[in-house]
Structure 1
Amino acid sequence: MQEKGIQMTLFEYFQDAECFSLKEAVACVEQVKEVKEPSIRARIYEGIEKGLFSRVAKGVYTVTKEQDGEEVTCMLVQGNGRDLSFLKDNSIDAIITDHAYDLKKSLKGGNRDFAAYECFQYTQEDFDEKYRVLKKGCFLVEFMPEENGENYEYLYQMKKMAKEAGLEYYAKVAWKKGNFVANTGRKSKNTEEIAFFTKGKARNLRPDAKKDKAEPGISHYMSGARGMLPTVFDIEPPGKNARIHQAEKPVELLQQILGFVTEEKEWVLDQFAGSFSLGEAALSSERNAICIEINEEYFEKGKERLLSAKSRSR
């Protein structure tokens, strides 16, 4: 099956756009015509900066939430999450994602069954691109399968590729899925690994209590996440009847991770959005997000989810 890319023409930018009249479309073009490169990258950044669109382009939508006069936006892109060419260098404050890894034994049992989903294994280019779009000192957070006899070499390769790209290994924290027990009956199946990397030395997010005490009235920070990472995240996964994706992550878990690696109003990227739970977590945490999903069915469900989450937050 051919992967669907993100690139599009200016004609596609407006075709089938129910929310625009011809007059409005011309006006929008007038406002972005100073951008020399007619690419989705330029249009997305212009659209964000000028607040022009709820539908930025074919397959590109934004959901904006306003609270106390402040706005945060979740951008939904239907396309191949491995193609980050539309993003500028050093433009993203964090990447938090869970790729559909091609490891057959690891995909059965528990809450994962990807028989009908497009799976793959990362290459060096994937990590080179993650490094390119991340800002200096910012975090890459990768969900990984629990290590076993089949996948340990791939997990090692992932970490090696991250290092080759220039990313530094920061920490690993297990996600314990509450009281969940896999349908195999093995309690050990109720965990996933969450690996934290940084682009170079971690930026200064952690409050420095000692310096704050020495110099009252001034906030001091030191290198690292905004707090000490826990030894384990102990959070129940979404129930089988409630989730819309096989590997859906609980919003609460993603909210906690966002709290450790980002600040309010920053931009977080999820390359493989799936259920779009990261988008919901970002909106509820006052973060901006770009969520990419290649599967049309999940993309449509994600739009519904985020619009519903926006309505609940009013």
Structure 2
Amino acid sequence: MSVRYGNKDHLIFHGDALTVLLEEIDSESIELIFLDPPYNIGKRFGDFYDKWLSDEDYVEWAYKWLDECIRVLKPNGTLYVMTSTQSMPYFDIYLRKKLTILSRIIWHYDSSGVQASKYFGSMYEPILHCVKDKKNYIFNSEAIKIEAKTGAKRKLIDYRKTIPTPYNTNKIPGNVWYFSRVRYRMEEYENHPSQKPESLLERIILASSNEKDLILDPFAGTFTAAAVAKRLRRNSISIESQEEYLKIGLRRILDWQEYKGEKLLPLQKSYVRKNENGQKISS
């Protein structure tokens, strides 16, 4: 059973993603789907523990909601899906039989935290960019162009052309994207273990949807996809199973100030520095 909140532009479902997809979302009704599911790596999300007994159990669960997402995607729709580096091969092999995979994207980030000491630690997360019809889909290349360092900074000339010409100063991004991870002191930070940055969602939404299009996020978490969709004048449907994170969406997307008698306030952050003994450190 799920509970629905929202208005004509932005809907939030509190419930299980697969159940909501099966019972609430019409076939071929969604222009863009962003999937950031649990990764099967042992994180705690509210009352949910992100660990299956085996990889096979995890992908069996994942294939069910992937099939439903394919069902609700419009014929010219686009689907982006993330998962762990360990699980992505299962997703890739499964989806290439059902959709066209246009790009295999690497979201790269830096980390000053603890890293592996006996092997090369992971500094990226993979993303599949898929469409139903490889001849008919949305891709707004002009909306996502970035600086081309060769042309804009190095000011090189391409002498291979009949008339030597400076290299372009901007370009469409390749499939390796650098965006910083969301950190505690950042304004967009919410209390969630795997929040994705707004900049990442902005590129995806600008590239693969138009204003008033409908964007679906079945694992909403901090509701970043819906928040960026709202800012960019798209409509959204979000699904979240954990009440702790539902409250983020009610505040962030629907502008609710209270839920079941509880004030919905942005996370109150402390910038006091402490040492390993919990004692304050002067700046």
Which TM class, normalised by the smaller chain length?
0.5 to 0.7
- Structure-1 residue corresponding to 2:136: 203
Shift of 1:182: 3.9
Paired position in structure 1 for 2:100: 168
Give the secondary-structure state (helix, strand or coil) at the position aligned to 2:122.
helix
Higher helix share: 1
Matched residues, percent identical?
23
* Deviation at residue 230 of structure 1 after TM alignment: 2.6
Name the structure 2 match of 1:60. Answer: 4
Q: 1:37 matched to which residue of 2?
A: none
Kindly state the Cα deviation for residue 206 of structure 1 after the two structures are TM-superposed: 4.4
Question: What is the aligned counterpart of 2:242 among 282, 295, 303?
Answer: 295
Q: Which residue number in structure 2 is paired with residue 81 of structure 1?
A: 17
2:217 equivalent in structure 1: 270
| Deviation of 1:274 (Å) | 0.4
Question: RMSD value over aligned CA atoms?
Answer: 2.8
Counterpart for residue 243 of structure 1: 190
The residue identity in structure 2 corresponding to 1:139 is T
Q: Which residue of 230, 243, 246 corresponds with 2:174?
A: 230
TM-score under structure 1 normalisation? 0.61
Runs of 4+ in 1 over 4 A off after TM superposition: 113-116, 185-188, 206-209, 307-310
Please state whether the residue corresponding to 1:142 is helix, strand or coil: strand
1:1-314 paired onto structure 2 within 5 Å = 5-6=1-2, 59-62=3-6, 73-83=9-19, 84-85=21-22, 86-104=24-42, 117-119=48-50, 121-123=58-60, 124-145=63-84, 147=85, 151=86, 154-164=87-97, 166-177=98-109, 179-184=110-115, 188-206=121-139, 228-240=172-184, 242-307=189-254
Q: State the distance in 2 between where 1:93 and 1:118 align.
A: 31
Determine the C-alpha separation between the residues in 2 that align with 1:293 and 1:114: 11
1:202: how far off? 5.0
Shift of 1:180: 2.7
| Alignment deviations for residues 10-59 of structure 1 (CA, whole Å, 9 cap, x no partner) | xxxxxxxxxxxxxxxxxxxxxxxxxxxxxxxxxxxxxxxxxxxxxxxxx3
Q: How many residues align?
A: 214
Question: Cα distance, 1:190 vs. partner?
Answer: 2.8
- Asked whether the 8 Å contact 1:63–1:306 carries over to 2, the reply is no
The verdict on how the C-alpha distance between 1:206 and 1:197 changes in structure 2, with shifts beyond 3 A counting, is closer
- SS across alignment from 2:25: coil
In structure 2, what is the Cα distance between the partners aligned to 1:174 and 1:101?
A: 16
Q: Residues 235 and 202 from structure 1, CA distance in 2 versus in 1: closer, same or farther, beyond 3 angstroms?
A: farther
Query: 1:146-197 CA deviation, whole Å, 9 max, x = no partner?
Result: x3xxx2xx32221222234x212111111122x4334226784331111111
CA contact (8 A) 1:138 1:202 kept: no
Once the two structures are superposed, residues 223-253 of structure 1 have per-residue CA deviations (whole angstroms, 9 ceiling, x without a partner) of xxxx944332211122135332111011121
